[in-house]
Structure 1
Amino acid sequence: MDHFSIIQALCRAAMADASPALRKQIERLRDALAKDGDAKQSAALTSILTTADRTKELSPSRIERSKAQNPGEVLTRNTPVPVDRETAAALADIIFPADIQPTAPLFNATVSQAIETIIEEWANFEALSEIDIRPSKTCLIYGAPGTGKTRLALWIAQQLGLPVVLVKLDGLVSSFLGTTARNIGNLFTFANRHRCILLLDEFDAIAKVRDDPQEVGEIKRVVNALLQNLDVRRDIGFTIGITNHPKLLDTAVWRRFEVQLEIPKPDFEMRKAIAAHFMPPVKAPDIHLRLIAWFTEGSTGAEIESLVRTYKKATTVREEDKRGLLDTLRQFATLNAARVQSERRALLFDDSSNLFRAMRDDPILGFSMADIGEIAGKDKSTVSRQLGRSAKSGEGEVLNG
């Protein structure tokens, strides 16, 4: 069939919110292709139908209960989003559950448990309503850039089976300063009319301290409009705000959010888990994962993912061009100097004996001489001798001093 790739894309988009009649037509097309001998194209449509079924089965009880708590019209891919009156630019993006990765983000046990609590509240809305309690309807997620805040918000929506109305507020402020308050009103009106999660990204762009002398009167009016709209929406739907700069938020904004969830930078074990998560299909030794976790102290998940990409490229190029782990770390530290803790970076480019000693003596890393030797491409006796010579040299300097 000519242009089947376009037909395939249309079918995939349609199945995200398909009626029984629409599904029937896709099944007819699949069967017709199979009858005409186009087995490959027929199988592609079967795959689309199967994927749609699996997506629908992910959490049916949660979807139905969340609908009960979120009255309104159903968002579809054909629903027009509000636009700026002067420029006709869309004020939001719509992201559907089928387009969101179902894999849970990686956080420490405390954060993961808190997130599960939010989801369980919405999944058990009926039980809570019997004791006159409602799920939390506003959630502020804050933390350093790259810690997974936006991905977490989207995953929560995916778990609840709700589409996301994603708004990047920094774009509204910088591009449409004179009409920002009106645009915000239109966005909230749109979100309140539909069954969805309203996700306000770059929240600090608008929700700034109102008594900041550097801000013009327009921003102050925008903050007031935002507060009023948040107050109205809290009785209608679920709203999530995201910010990298919590200190910039007005205290009145903080009070509008029932849940205030901080996403910390990952600790050693989480950094190792993140490295392992992004490593496939490459199989990295455990000591490599541990060293990556140690090297990325103070880093975010996004920065660890970037280092893992560098590692994977270094281990899959031509044999004569392959780098050892230490050389790969030095390359990454050179190209990403601002993202690497200065102490770790200094050790990488210092005398190797100082790096070996730090690796040996760090209780979290827990490396043996054999581990260090494997990473450095030396046998453990060579590493031991190098450390011994370094120690004697240090003692001599102390005596001479």
Structure 2
Amino acid sequence: MNDIETDLSHLARLALTENTQDVRLFVARLVRKYRNIEPELAEQMDLHLRAKTHSSQTSMRKVSSHPPMSDRTPPVDDESRLSLLKIFKGESSEDAPLLADDLAQTLERLMQERHQIERLTSLGLQPTRSAIFVGQPGLGKTITAQWLASQLNVPLYILDLTAVMSSLLGRSGSNLRAALDFAKSSPCVLLLDEIDAIAKRRNDESDIGELKRLVTIILQEVDEWPSTGLLLAATNNPELIDSALWRRFDLVIEFKAPDSAAVKMAIKRFFGSDYARFTRWLDILAFAFQGLSFSDIKRDIQRLRRSLALEAASDTELIEEFIKLRAPALDHQGRINLAVLLAKQTRLSQHNISSITGVSRDTIRKYISEKTPKTK
């Protein structure tokens, strides 16, 4: 059988087991597999995947014998009375975060382990219990944690560092243990965001003794975290984290800046119903957005959509304004490549292109006649 026949047979087998989560995971894998070779098929499967609300209960929920989340109150700091944990309740139908294929596959395997937790346990194995997310702000670390929790049908708790770090000497350690004990008491996803703030290297002489004790507490908790929950940490500054902590986490997952394909996917998603108006600008926008995070791309696109909704300008005028603001952030060669791309793919005059990119018309003419734009 060819690949499509084999995949169809495997999909039918999974569907007949009535195991919805396995079917969803496999369809997500097929979307990535066929995105380049059968784009129409991949897009159709992706539409079905997004339209189908996942309602089956996962193993994490099945093993729970604790009161529902609404009946449980997170601990608070005695001094400030602030809750030590922020609670997020996501919907299982939320879109998957925009991630590189290798990262998406890692998360898919993690989800598969959670769904097959009983099978792993019968073999004397445990699912992945902890992972640390590494990457600059805006690349999807927190959104990924929210999505994982929603897909597992469990709450997401985020440790609130401002509440944990009490002004009372010795209280921070007690707050941290109280928050962790609460999260361990029932199935959940716990995110220790900006973990470098409390898990710095213990040989850092600038830290007081209490912060060093917090590192010790976290080391112990990662080792003892129950398999019914998932412990996540996130950091923008991995070089600050105590080396012993790295060895404790089951997975280290790196979030990288989106590549060209991911940027185009983000543009299509963030424009939503307005995408048709900007389709012809896709390559231009993808080039201009290179090097930016998903959150930066979303912010700029929402600004364009607001202006369009208020009829403040045409799509062409909005793109010109955006390019004029974005061009100075590019290096010299990047501005030249952008100018040549505009000259080849739009009806803008070379005079106008020169005005919005800062590239002379002589340079634009030279590059158009000699070569095509370089890609980064």
TM over 0.5: yes
The structure 1 residue matched to 2:322, chosen from 302, 324, 328, is 328
**Per-residue deviation, 1:172:** 2.6
What code does the residue aligned with 2:252 have? Q
Alpha-carbon spacing, 1:82–1:305, altered in 2? closer, same or farther (3 Å): same
1:1-400 to 2 correspondences below 5 Å: 58-61=54-57, 63=58, 65-68=59-62, 71-98=64-91, 102-169=94-161, 171-173=163-165, 178-234=170-226, 237-282=229-274, 283-318=276-311, 323-331=317-325, 333=326, 340-343=329-332, 347=335, 355-357=338-340, 359=341, 369=344, 371-373=345-347, 390-391=365-366
**Per-residue deviation, 1:245:** 1.4
What code does the residue aligned with 2:191 have? L
**Per-residue deviation, 1:155:** 0.5
What code does the residue aligned with 1:58 have? H
Q: CA RMSD in A?
A: 3.3
**Per-residue deviation, 1:229:** 2.4
**Per-residue deviation, 1:177:** 6.5
Structure 2 equivalent of residue 48 of structure 1: none
**Per-residue deviation, 1:368:** 7.2
What code does the residue aligned with 1:391 have? K
- Structure 2 distance, partners of 1:315, 1:377, is 25
**Counterpart of 2:292 in 1: which secondary structure?**
coil
**Per-residue deviation, 1:126:** 2.1
TM-score (norm 1): 0.68
**Per-residue deviation, 1:389:** 8.2
- Structure 1 distance, partners of 2:144, 2:292, is 18
- Structure 2 distance, partners of 1:209, 1:306, is 35
Q: Highest Rg: 1 or 2?
A: 1
**Counterpart of 1:285 in 2: which secondary structure?**
helix
**Counterpart of 2:347 in 1: which secondary structure?**
helix
Alpha-carbon spacing, 1:304–1:176, altered in 2? closer, same or farther (3 Å): farther
**Per-residue deviation, 1:391:** 3.2
- Structure 1 distance, partners of 2:95, 2:290, is 24
Deviates more, 1:320-329 or 1:169-178: 169-178
TM-score (norm 2): 0.73
- Structure 2 distance, partners of 1:354, 1:60, is 49
Unaligned runs of 5+ in 1: 1-54, 348-352, 360-366, 380-385, 396-401
Alpha-carbon spacing, 1:343–1:390, altered in 2? closer, same or farther (3 Å): closer
Alpha-carbon spacing, 1:260–1:175, altered in 2? closer, same or farther (3 Å): farther
Deviates more, 1:244-253 or 1:150-159: 244-253
- Structure 2 distance, partners of 1:319, 1:329, is 17
Contact 1:139 1:240 in 2 (8 A): yes
- Structure 2 distance, partners of 1:318, 1:308, is 15
**Per-residue deviation, 1:129:** 2.5
Contact 2:83 2:163 in 1 (8 A): no
Contact 1:92 1:167 in 2 (8 A): yes
**Per-residue deviation, 1:236:** 5.4
**Per-residue deviation, 1:96:** 2.5
- Structure 2 distance, partners of 1:140, 1:219, is 20
**Per-residue deviation, 1:204:** 1.2
Alpha-carbon spacing, 1:77–1:122, altered in 2? closer, same or farther (3 Å): same
What code does the residue aligned with 2:54 have? L
**Counterpart of 1:133 in 2: which secondary structure?**
coil
1:59-83 CA distances to partner (integer Å, 9 max, x unpaired)?
414x2x1235x54513322421101
Contact 2:131 2:253 in 1 (8 A): yes
What code does the residue aligned with 1:212 have? D
